[in-house]
Amino acid sequence: MQRMLEKMAQKLNEYDEASLMQLWQHYAATVQDFEPSRRWEEAALALCLIQAVHWKNQLFNYNLALTAEPADMHDMPPVPDFTHIHKKQGGEQSAGAEPPKATVLAFPPRPERKKT
């Protein structure tokens, strides 16, 4: 099991985050519209994998920035904003604009079952 997970992680790490993030909205919409099907389960896993790559890259950049020498800081990317989930398709934020709020999928409460 461990070898299989490591192979999956290795393969996932080969994909470009920007390309994966273009699919985020598609999978989020599918997951939000629950249906008890294999299609929904696989979409939920795909969404989690996209999030995992995004989070891993943010964590990597954050830790790399912490280890940089002050003289090298101008070459480093800015410290990541861990509240930013994805950019709107089509581009960059304008300078001075507040970053968009993270998209959080709501899980509605389960309907109460009648006791018999």
Q: How does pLDDT run across 47-101, given as a tens digit for each residue?
A: 999 999 998 888 888 888 778 766 666 666 665 555 554 444 445 555 556 655 6
Please indicate, yes or no, if residue 37 is contained in any of the structural domains.
Answer: yes
Cβ atoms of 84 and 24 within 8 Å: the answer is: no
Which pLDDT does position 66 carry in this prediction?
78
Cβ atoms of 54 and 12 within 8 Å: the answer is: no
Please indicate, yes or no, if residue 80 is contained in any of the structural domains.
Answer: no
Cα–Cα–Cα angle for 28, 29, 34, rounded to 5 degrees: 100
Please indicate, yes or no, if residue 14 is contained in any of the structural domains.
Answer: yes
**For the whole prediction, is pTM greater than 0.75?**
no
Please indicate, yes or no, if residue 38 is contained in any of the structural domains.
Answer: yes
Q: Which residues contact 31 (CB under 8 A, 6 or more apart)?
A: 40, 43, 44, 47, 105
CA distance 113 to 108: 15
Cα–Cα–Cα angle for 61, 63, 68, rounded to 5 degrees: 90
CA distance 5 to 8: 5
Please indicate, yes or no, if residue 56 is contained in any of the structural domains.
Answer: yes
For residue range 11-41, list pLDDT tens digits in order.
999 998 888 888 999 999 999 988 899 999 9
Which residue blocks in the chain are alpha helix, DSSP H?
A: 2-13, 17-21, 24-32, 38-67
Please indicate, yes or no, if residue 31 is contained in any of the structural domains.
Answer: yes
Q: Which residues constitute the domain of residue 59?
A: 2-75
Please indicate, yes or no, if residue 53 is contained in any of the structural domains.
Answer: yes
Please indicate, yes or no, if residue 36 is contained in any of the structural domains.
Answer: yes
What domain count does the chain have?
Answer: 1
